[in-house]
């Protein structure tokens, strides 16, 4: 440990004044605490997914590997706090200099956001192909997001001091703005799906509705964080409040997708239970000759009122790759 100078306690020796860290590294530290708590949930959700769906489709298994990107994002924010608040403690000259981990933040968050948005976009296309033109718009917006995230990262690595990045802060605003716009479109489309979902099976409709509600809540939470982050890049450029808001946002994106994937197991169990109960009741009715006419009439459902959800059955359960997936395990 480095020894203090002999005259360190002398009243003539004064330390240089330190700038206030409340709305810069203080805000970053608090958001890091929250993000690491959410990262714990990410670890649990990832473990639960691989335990429940060992034979899931390739797209989902690759998507869940965003856990690796989220882990790198968590390591980056830890390094930021350690570098500025521990390693350079009482060193005000290091505070305005951008370290590599903070320069990587736009790209690491961008990958998480784009992977999660691509998941929801695919859901929309599978639910109803007539939303294809909306999917095209979303994909174009996502490509714009990717361009802004890459441009922000490249510009950050070309600069050394935070003040030099002020003229380019509009790139961060564009990143958050594009992410907010895409999330709003996704939320609106899922609301439309929720209102128009029709199926011949009541248990299936409940499963579809619940999945749509999960998607609406997830995209709404994403918007609640990305929109204020965009606003603070405009009205409070000299602070790190927008950075503090973006750190837990990446975790919200990841946890939303993983929770959506894992909830399919619970819905499948409930659907199977309901179908088993229905089969048992219908067997008793046939045995005693009760309600044959009413059951026959109730089974006739106009084909125009039923959504074709056969394309949604692309997952498999843990009991084997050849098991037919219930409708509620769509996507």
Residue-level pLDDT at 277: 46
Residue-level pLDDT at 269: 60
| Closest-CA residue to 242 (of 70, 34, 28) | 28
Residue-level pLDDT at 280: 46
Residue-level pLDDT at 270: 55
Residue-level pLDDT at 322: 40
SS3 97: strand
**Which residues make Cβ contacts (< 8 Å) with residue 149, sequence separation at least 6?**
106, 107, 109, 110, 111, 114, 175
Query: Cβ distance 109 to 60 under 8 Å?
Result: no
Alpha carbon distance 245, 251 (integer Å): 11
| Closest-CA residue to 25 (of 82, 100, 63, 70) | 82
For residue 279, the tally of other CB atoms under 10 A from its CB is 10
Residue-level pLDDT at 110: 94
Does residue 289 come out as left (phi exceeding 0), alpha (psi in the -120 to 50 range) or beta? left
Residue-level pLDDT at 186: 92
Per-residue pLDDT of the chain (331 residues; tens, 9 = 90+): 455 555 545 555 565 666 778 899 999 999 999 999 999 999 999 999 989 888 888 888 887 878 899 999 999 999 999 999 999 988 888 999 999 999 999 999 999 999 999 999 998 888 888 888 999 999 999 999 999 999 999 999 999 999 899 899 999 999 999 999 999 999 999 888 877 765 544 555 566 677 778 888 888 899 999 999 999 999 998 899 999 999 999 999 999 999 888 887 766 665 554 444 444 444 434 444 444 444 444 444 444 334 443 334 444 444 444 444 444 444 4
Alpha carbon distance 71, 282 (integer Å): 51
According to CATH, what is the number of the domain 22-271?
1.20.1070
Q: Within its chain, how far is the Cα of 284 from the centroid?
A: 47
Q: DSSP label at 161?
A: B
Q: DSSP label at 232?
A: H
Query: Cβ distance 271 to 327 under 8 Å?
Result: yes
The domain segmentation of the chain, as residue ranges, is 22-271
Residue-level pLDDT at 5: 52
Supply the pTM of this predicted model.
0.76
Query: Rounded to 5 degrees, what are φ and ψ at 167?
Result: -65, -15
């Amino acid at each position: 440990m480095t020894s203090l100078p002999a005259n360190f306690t002398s009243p003539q020796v004064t330390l240089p004044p330190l700038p206030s860290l409340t709305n810069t590294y203080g805000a970053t530290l608090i958001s890091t605490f929250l993000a690491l708590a959410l990262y714990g949930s990410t670890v649990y959700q990832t473990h639960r997914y691989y335990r429940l769906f060992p034979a899931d489709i390739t797209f989902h298994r690759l998507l869940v590997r965003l856990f690796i990107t989220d882990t790198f994002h968590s390591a980056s924010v830890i390094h930021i706090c350690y570098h500025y608040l521990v390693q350079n403690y009482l060193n005000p000259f290091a505070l305005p200099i951008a370290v590599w981990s903070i320069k990587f933040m736009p790209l690491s968050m961008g990958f998480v956001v784009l992977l999660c948005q691509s998941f929801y976009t695919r859901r929309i296309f599978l639910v109803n192909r007539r939303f294809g033109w909306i999917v095209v718009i979303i994909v174009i917006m996502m490509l714009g997001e990717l361009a802004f995230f890459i441009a922000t990262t490249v510009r950050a690595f070309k600069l050394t001091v935070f003040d030099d990045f002020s003229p380019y802060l509009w790139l961060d605003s564009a990143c958050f703005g594009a992410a907010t716009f895409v999330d709003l479109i996704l939320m609106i489309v899922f609301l439309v799906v929720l209102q128009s979902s029709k199926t011949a099976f009541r248990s299936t409709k409940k499963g579809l509705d619940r999945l749509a509600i999960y998607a609406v809540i997830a995209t709404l939470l994403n918007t609640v964080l990305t929109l204020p982050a965009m606003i603070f890049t405009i009205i409070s450029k000299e602070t790190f409040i927008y950075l503090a808001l973006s750190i837990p946002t990446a975790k919200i994106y990841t946890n939303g997708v993983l929770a959506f994937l894992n909830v399919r197991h619970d819905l499948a169990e409930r659907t199977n239970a309901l179908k088993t109960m229905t089969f048992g009741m219908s067997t008793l009715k046939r045995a005693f000759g009760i309600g044959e006419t009413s059951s026959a009439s109730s089974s006739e459902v106009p084909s125009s009122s039923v959504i074709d959800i056969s394309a949604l059955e692309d997952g498999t359960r843990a009991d084997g790759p050849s098991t037919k997936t219930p409708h509620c395990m769509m996507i």
